[in-house]
Amino acid sequence: MNRIILAIPNPITSAGMAAVIQQHFHTQIEVVNSMNALRQACYKYDDALVILSSQLSGVATVEHWRRIKRRHVDLQLIVWGRSQQDILNFQCGISQVDGYLLESSNSDELVQALKTLKTGSIYVAAPVAEYLARNPRSRKQQGMVDALSDRELQVAQMLSRGIRVREIAKHLCISSKTINTFRYRIFSKLGIDGDVQLSHMAIQSGLVDLIQFEGR
């Protein structure tokens, strides 16, 4: 990640987060405390990772972010939610979020979230995952997940956690080619285009809790 934009209204919180990030990562940090300042920062750094407070612009935060994302499609987003309801508002209103943290998350979780995003996976704090798996939107997508076979569910769950195809093949004692066949079959059945969308659907549908991956 080349640059991180901290869009946090509380200056004490943003200063603490910046200190933690600088301690663990060699990256530049831009701190903003208003939606207007965030727009300007995203215009200058349109491939940055944005850590966005759900309260930056009150109830309008989701809509403002949607407009920013339409202009700057390469931006990544971690939602810094005051409450689980704030997280749900983002989850229902925005098609792609790369990470979910609560304001109560500690510095270790922040670091882990950033490390996870660097691998191309998404990060969801455990309390958020449980909450999203129970939300009403998940029931709509549960029917799509039910269309998968037991083996497809197993592969989908592993992929959604960012496990590599080669590692999945080794664990299941089948070839990488077969795993990729399952992978594209899963994409077709779920109407998605890739692993990131699969991860989002896994969270929204509760797929991450349906099957246990031994050894993780």
- Which residue(s) pair with 31 in the sheet? 6
Element housing 209 (H / E):
helix 207-210
Give the domain ranges of the chain. Answer: 3-133, 136-210
Give the CA-trace dihedral at 19, 20, 21, 23, to 10 degrees: 80
Query: Tens digit of pLDDT for each residue in 29-58?
Result: 999 999 999 999 999 999 999 999 988 988
Per-residue CA distances from 114 to 77, 174, 207 (Å): 11, 32, 23
Tokens of 163: 């496990």
CATH 1.10.1200.10 is right for the domain spanning 3-133: no
Residue 8 backbone zone (phi > 0: left; psi -120 to 50: alpha; other: beta)? beta
Confidence class for position 214, pLDDT limits 50, 70, 90: very low
pTM beyond 0.85: no
Domain 136-210: give its CATH code: 1.10.10.10
SS3 50: strand
| pLDDT tier at 181, thresholds 50, 70, 90 | very high
Indicate the SS3 state at residue 119: coil
Residue 72 above 70 pLDDT? yes
